[in-house]
Amino acid sequence: MLRNIVIIALFILLWVVFASVAPAAKQGPATIDIYGGESGKVHFPHADHQKRIDDCNVCHSVFPQEKDAIKKMKEKGAIKAKKVMNLQCIKCHKAEKRAGKPSGPTTCKTCHVK
């Protein structure tokens, strides 16, 4: 009986430790400069998005977690110019705005810097 209690206590302790460390594992850079084609690069506030969006797959199911992922996808024809952010970023920002929540920019030139 005592052995079972010790095993359960250890399991709970390990779970608590893992749960407290796990969120830190998904932290990425505070900002990322994203390839923006002819319109210029985009200074992307990655940390701000991580605070607002719990599920990394919202973005990373579309864009792999690798340097220049968008540039590589565009070069391969996997995504088309001017559709990249319209289908992902602007769509989400507009939905947040309609819901009365704080939202990001909804126009291209707000983010692209030449």
The rounded distance, in Å, linking the Cα atoms of 59 and 61 is 6
DSSP state of 37: G
Q: Which residue has the tokens 């991580």?
A: 50
Distances from the Cα of 62 to the Cα of 15, 65, 66, 104, angstroms = 31, 10, 12, 19
Q: Which residues contact 109 (CB under 8 A, 6 or more apart)?
A: 39
% of the chain surpassing 70 pLDDT = 78
pTM score, two decimals?
Answer: 0.68
To 5 degrees, how large is the angle CA 104–CA 54–CA 81? 45
Which pLDDT band, with edges at 50, 70 and 90, does 21 fall under? very low
Q: Mapping DSSP to helix (H, G, I), strand (E, B) and coil, where does residue 22 land?
A: helix
For the ranges 8-12, 67-71, 86-90, the one whose mean pLDDT is highest: 67-71
CATH architecture of 28-113: Alpha-Beta Complex (3.90)
Q: Which helix (H) or strand (E) holds 92?
A: helix 89-98
